A = this chain, B = another copy of it.
Amino acid sequence: MTELPAHVDIREVCLRDGLQIEEPISLAAKIELLEAVVATGVREVEATAFVSPSKVPALADAEALAAELTRFDNVEFSALVASPNGAKRAIAAGLNSIEYVVSASDAHSRANVGRGTADATVAIADVARIAHDSGASVEVIVATAWDCPFDGPTASQRVLDIITAAVDLGVDRIAIADTIGTATPRRVQTLIGQVRPILAGTPLGAHFHNTRGAGLASAFAAVQAGVTRLDASVGGLGGCPFAPGASGNIATEDLVYLLRDSDIGTDVDLPKAIEAAAVAQRLVGHDLPSSLLRAGDRIIG
């Protein structure tokens, strides 16, 4: 078997990717979820997004939420942005870790942010400058890295071009995202094999959805290929708008279970992650797709 890492860093994304398509919940509810998430021991939390409140009403309270983050120690909070203006808002709100999304497919990029991949890539420079001028770090997340919901398969060269530009501009981290939950192990490992040589030492993360059941298999394939940064969401919170009822983000607790039993450590306490998933389920008021939330941990003996 491939050599596996001793540790994987999980970034908890339930507050942003998890909640963004839900009916808006109150700021107090978000704080409750945040407390449950921080209690898991996770070191990185994607707290919100600074995007159009009319397009993503569930995250319209980004500034108000950001003001609450100072109460938590030992956690690095990040926020997603889709434009230089969003980066300015995030910095003004006190965030010091910015994620800037660039869709590798033109059709998704236009649907998502109203401009094509090339223009969104050019804007990396502005976002990076805004972040770095304020002492913040910036990560470029390549969305639709494997497939686009409109265009089908994404040519890997489009992914590589974005990453090359981002690395040249000195961004701090890169992530590749399976935005619509179509990736599978072989395709994951193929793309990572292409991306790795052009990273020039920039850390690489990966983001998977479980929409077609292969989310955990793809995440593990990424780890086998050397990725040690993965996004996950407690409860698997985060549905897929075009496929109601389908699983969303890979569930933090399911990922931690799989990694633990593969002798890979994380900072996340499994029982606490299951508790946080239960909090998430209660707050959004519908069943979440997490497996461990239903089945529990196995008997370790």
Contact = CB atoms under 8 A, between A and B. Distances in A.
Interface in A230-281: 240, 243-247, 251, 254, 257-258, 261-263
B258 A152 contact: no
Among A1, A225, A292, max chain B CB count under 10 A is at: A1
Nearest to A182: B298
Contacts of A291: 210-214, 246-247
Contacts of A220: 185, 217, 220-221
> Can you tell how many copies of this chain the complex includes?
2
A200 interface: no
A216 to B, nearest CB: 5
B296 A243 contact: yes
A212 B254 contact: yes
A152 to B, nearest CB: 3
A214 B258 contact: yes
Contact of A185 (B187, B212, B258): B258
A115 interface: no
Given A213-B216, A213-B257, A214-B257, A1 B298 contact: no
B213 A292 contact: yes
A153 interface: yes
A262 B187 contact: yes
